[in-house]
Amino acid sequence: MIPKIITGKGSTRRLIAYLFGKGDANEHVDPHLVASWNDFAPDPGRSPQRDPKEVEKQLYTQLDQPVAMLGRQAPQTTVWHCPVRAAPEDPILSDDQWAEIARRIVAAAGIAPTGDNEACRWVAVRHADDHIHIAATLVRQDGRRPKRDYDIRAVPREARQIEVDYGLRRLKPGDGTAAKRTTSKEHFKAKRQGQDATAREILRMRVRRAVVAATDEAEFFSLLEATGVDVRLKLAPSGDALGCNFALPGNVNEEGNPVWFAGSTLAPDLSLPKIRERLATTSPEPATIQPGNPWHQATAATERIPHHLTKSDEQTAQGQLVALGATLDLLPVMAPTAGRAKLEQAAAAFERATRSRIAADLDSTRALHRSIQTIWRERPQDSDRTGLTMLLDAALTAVAFALHWHRTRQHAQQEAAAEQALLHLQTAYAQTAEPVLVGLASRAPSPQTKRRFAHHLQDVVPEHAERILNDPAWDALATVLAEAEAAGHNAATVLSQALHQRALDDARSPARALTWRIRRLGERHVPGPWAQAARAHSAMQRPSVPTHPAAAIARPPQGAPPRRR
């Protein structure tokens, strides 16, 4: 059950007219009162012998009477409006049940505490099966103000208890960091225009992508313009920009004017100050960027996210979640058509998992952000989609760890968002990886070569060898091992390095996991003779009884000369 509190100025006249009208898409069916402050307020929907407009006037006049009595002493904010919506799968509630729910909501909000005969005046209007609207005035009948300082928290808390009491779908408690939900009016408008998403949702995604892709504020605004987003700046007397609003061309109100959304109403981290903070923190440093395949660099940085989530402090971990969300935001732009829709759904879902009450430290995320920007800008060669696929594989593991991280901290909404994103990402990965694996398997080496590779597996990782050899991706793994050998690598050494990167205990498909790791390692520069000698010497010095088979494979030094006796 979702309540949403909206406050306003002036009279309740326009609100009452809307609630008892036909709605923007004729969606208001049988509008009528289910409850009121005195249980006998005039009902424009159930007064067949009278003009409905006359009854509407009588109703809003009675609602506004305590405000009118104060005259100029009335507060600025005088209207309290709270739609309360049930979930689609919930049973249809009766008028009496909705009436009781309305009384509990206004009591929790401080609008009309139980037994208080001098409380604010309010009505609950039902014009559809699944929701009601509560309209109230914010002056008590004794002329005082209601004590509603914590209604934003108290009302959702009461809604959670109502769900329990009525056996309704139980929503996750929030922490105040969620983006504002789209309104039913926005949903109906998008439906009329034949759009799958509302203007708010489209703007949120486009602005998020621009933040990720831009290196400075000027480029951020240029990218928005290029993607069809209008921007209106809020300027200080000095001319400095204090804030910005966003609009989609063609999305207009009844007067034909653009519908503007402040960045903070799209998401808490999309206000101009927050955007500037992100751009300043994640912009590339002036240091020289190491050459390399950006797909591999992004994958390596994503593979480090689980380590940060389990070993680093909470601020660093939260920063990693922000970077992971930024990566998911840009992936749909670079993905083939087959998996794009699911990647967009994964990014939209995980957006909620990128924010919590923990401040994000983004210092450790520069490598991931920089490599993702490079992929987006330069579109490096990835004709067989192995770059995208291995990055998706790493992202799947990172999202699973993000889910667990939020769960252990009781971030209920973020946990649910990560879980939903994981499902979408798994589908996108399957759609992307399957043709890549089929293509690799079609180039599998000879049976004799495969038997040799199988022998290496038995020696290095006996506890997983049987699973790997029976895995459908075994032929693809054999192919990348053969290609690494052809490039000058030692197959056994590359296999050992791949196993050392991360244990296979939690891998759904160990052969697939090794395929992407070895593909990356095989494309690296082949070490020289001195480096190979150093690796051999290091291997001889390792303990003979490791605590775990994978722990016996130490990361080799890069290019170190052999020690002299």
Per-residue confidence (pLDDT) for residue 544, from 0 to 100: 38
Could you read off the pLDDT of 399-456 as tens digits, one per residue? 999 999 999 999 999 999 999 999 999 999 999 989 999 999 999 999 999 999 999 8
**Mean of the per-residue pLDDT values for the chain?**
86
Which tens digit of pLDDT belongs to each residue from 263-286? 999 999 999 999 998 888 765 554
Residue 349 confidence (pLDDT) above 70: yes
448-481 CB burial, b ≥16 within 10 A, e <16? ebbebbeebbeebbeebbebbbebebbbbbbbbb
The average pLDDT across 1-17 equals 91
Q: How far is CA 263 from the centre of its chain?
A: 16
Q: Percent of the chain having pLDDT more than 70?
A: 90
Q: Hey, which residues does 77 pair with through a beta bridge? A: 9
DSSP for 33-88, please give it: EEEESSS----GGG-TTS-HHHHHHHHHHHHHHHHHHHGGGS-SEEEEEEEEE--T
Residue type, 8: G
What pLDDT, on a 0 to 100 scale, did the predictor assign at position 241?
Answer: 84
Point out which residues pair with 347 in neighbouring strands: none
Tokens of 458: 């038995």
Ramachandran bin of 113, using left for φ above 0, alpha for ψ from -120 to 50, beta for the remaining angles: beta
Mean per-residue pLDDT for 363-368? 90
CA distance 226 to 157: 42
Taking phi over 0 as left and psi of -120 to 50 as alpha, with beta for the rest, 110 belongs to left
Highest mean pLDDT among 100-109, 289-298, 517-526: 100-109
Distance CA 53, CA 44 (A): 7
| The two structure tokens encoding residue 494 | 């590359």
Which residues of 214-288 form beta strands (DSSP E)?
Answer: 230-235, 241-247, 261-262
Task: Classify residue 269 by its DSSP letter.
Answer: G
Q: How far apart are CA 460 and CA 543, in angstroms?
A: 15
Of 436, 213, 433, 210, which is closest to residue 342 (Cα–Cα)?
Answer: 433
Residue 370 reports pLDDT greater than 60: yes
| pLDDT band of 481, cuts 50, 70, 90 | very high
Q: Which residue has the higher pLDDT, 513 or 223?
A: 223
- Report whether pLDDT(25) > 50: yes
The β-bridge partners of 80 are: 7, 136
SS3 9: strand
Among residues 220, 213, 205, which one has the least CA distance to residue 261? 205
pLDDT digits (tens, 9 = 90+) for 14-23: 999 989 988 7
CA distance 380 to 232: 35
Instruction: Give the pLDDT confidence score for residue 525 in this predicted structure.
Output: 54
- pLDDT 10s digits, 378-396: 888 787 888 899 999 999 9
How far is residue 33 from each of residues 36, 38, 104, 141, 473, measured CA to CA in Å? 7, 12, 16, 21, 63
Q: How far, in Å, CA of 63 to CA of 135, rounded?
A: 9
389, 343 Cβ separation under 8 angstroms = no
